[in-house]
Structure 1
Amino acid sequence: MAKKKFSKEWIQQHINDPYVKLAQQKGYRARAAFKLTEILDGEKLLRPGDVVVDLGSAPGSWSQVARERLVGPGGVLNGRIIALDMLPMEPIAGVEFIQGDFREDAVLEQLAERLGGARVDLVISDMAPNLSGVGSADSARIQHVCDLALDFASRHLKPEGALVVKAFHGSGFSQIVESFKRSFQRVVERKPKASRDKSSETFLVARRLKHQVS
């Protein structure tokens, strides 16, 4: 009974959520689009001509935001977006999509092949693992996802590039921040207005690699 009540409450909050309504108006696939928009504006990231990799991209709202910012006069895409997710994603004009599990080497190799040695300006990751409710197990899963994004960025970013990753406050969070600081010159935490107050999610923005991993 309690579960049913919670579901009804969640649905009601979702329906009344101003960001949900705004996303529908603007044609975004999810309210998460506004989280990335605020981060990009605050950090002055993503310019025409940039190469972007979107990890955990489905349903595609972050790729939509990236595309908007790379489209120049006449609607021509000035830059490149490669998106990756385990789940299928409806096509977005100009966005290259790879369906596969980011944790598998074969999928990472496919992504690297698609880049063809080109360095990336921005890696964005809204990935979140399936959480079990068991604190120690969940923190390990969250850390693993963040480590994968960090490792990919360390291998493929330009020296001045940036990485935006979703993490969660709680056990293991400080270790994630420390690992980012070992790899990047500047690491900041951002909690966008579109991120629900009750959510422990926070976004790490890391800039300028200290050293490139080959």
Structure 2
Amino acid sequence: MGSQWGADKYYRRSKGEGYRSRAAYKLEEIQRKFGLIRGDDNVVDLGAAPGSWLQFVKGITGGVIIGIDLNPIVPVEGTHTVKGDFTKKEIQDKVISLTGENNVGIVLCDAAPQFAGNKSYDQARAIGLNEGALHFACRILKPGGNLIIKSFQGEMFQELLNEIRQNFYAVKVYRTKASRRGSTEVYIIARNFNGKINAETD
């Protein structure tokens, strides 16, 4: 069981600072350590609801900021929100219409599937979601762009890392302090997209 104190600490802080969820502090920590989001980047956030990452990002970049989720996102001033499945070509085309072709500096993905309680099944669904985010990034990132994906260590995780390393020059696995204690949650930090792959979509 995770640390209740830790959960309360970040929950209380998010409410006090106006963020929609404690997840904002995970991205804040990653940005402080790695500096992946640049001041002129166009940014796409996959699985963006409820919008705390959009809130954080708009304080960093003057570029176009887009959040995509299957669920509606309450609008965040200065950002675009899209309701739909990011693996679908029509959603990706909408992103391109807002940013231009291969003109996104970073893709963020804090999405996770609804877990059913079956470890192997849940892990397979999580990795499948990660692969969808990777393929999305390979279609819309500009050369040299960056990617942050939330994942879970377990079966198929190493295979996912290997696939990401084929597309980015530097890849690291990082665990944030705001992640719940005992969770297998990690973030894959992928820098400098090599621009070699244009992923196929439905």
* Change in 2 beyond 3 A, CA 1:94/1:42: same
- Structure 1's unaligned 5+ residue stretches are 1-8, 71-77
Taking structure 1 as reference, are residues 154 and 15 closer, same or farther at Cα in structure 2, changes over 3 Å only? closer
Provide the rounded CA distance (Å) in 2 between the counterparts of 1:113 and 1:69. Answer: 22
Contact 2:144–2:194 (CA<8 Å) still a contact in 1?
Answer: no
Specify the code of the residue in structure 1 equivalent to 2:20.
R
Structure 2: distance between partners of 1:179 and 1:84: 23
Which residue of structure 2 aligns with residue 212 of structure 1? 196
Change (3 A) 1:145 1:195: same
After alignment, is 15-24 or 38-47 more displaced? 15-24
Please tell me the residue identity of whatever aligns with 1:100: G
Aligned letter for 1:102? Answer: F
User: What is residue 156 of structure 2 aligned with on the other side?
Assistant: 172
Query: Equivalent residue for 1:64?
Result: 55
- Of 108-117 and 84-93, more deviation after overlay is shown by 108-117
In 2: Cα distance, 1:15 partner to 1:188 partner = 25
Whether 2:39 is the aligned partner of 1:51: answer no
- Runs of 4+ aligned residues of structure 1 deviating over 4 Å after TM superposition are none
Q: Give the drift of 1:69.
A: 1.2
1:132 corresponding residue in structure 2? 116
Instruction: Note the alpha carbon deviations across 1:85-131, whole angstroms, 9 max, x for none.
Output: 01111111110011112233332332233333251111100010112
SS across alignment from 1:94: coil
In 2: Cα distance, 1:97 partner to 1:29 partner:
15
Name the residue aligned to 2:12. Answer: 21
**Structure 2 residue corresponding to 1:147, chosen from 112, 131, 134:** 131
Structure-2-length-normalised TM-score:
0.90
Alignment of 1:185-204 (within 5 A): 185-204=169-188
SS at match of 2:72: coil
Aligned 8 A contact 1:167 1:202 in 2: yes
CA deviation after TM superposition for structure 1 residue 182, in Å: 1.3
Identify the structure with bigger relative contact order (alpha carbons < 8 Å, sequence gap 6+).
2
Q: Is the Cα contact below 8 Å between 1:135 and 1:171 reproduced in 2?
A: no
Answer with 1 or 2: which has the greater Rg.
1
* CA distance, structure 2, for counterparts of residue 118 and residue 177 of structure 1: 23
Give the CA RMSD over aligned residues. Answer: 2.0
Q: Is residue 2:144 matched to residue 1:160?
A: yes
Which residue of structure 1 aligns with residue 33 of structure 2?
42
Amino acid at match of 1:119: N
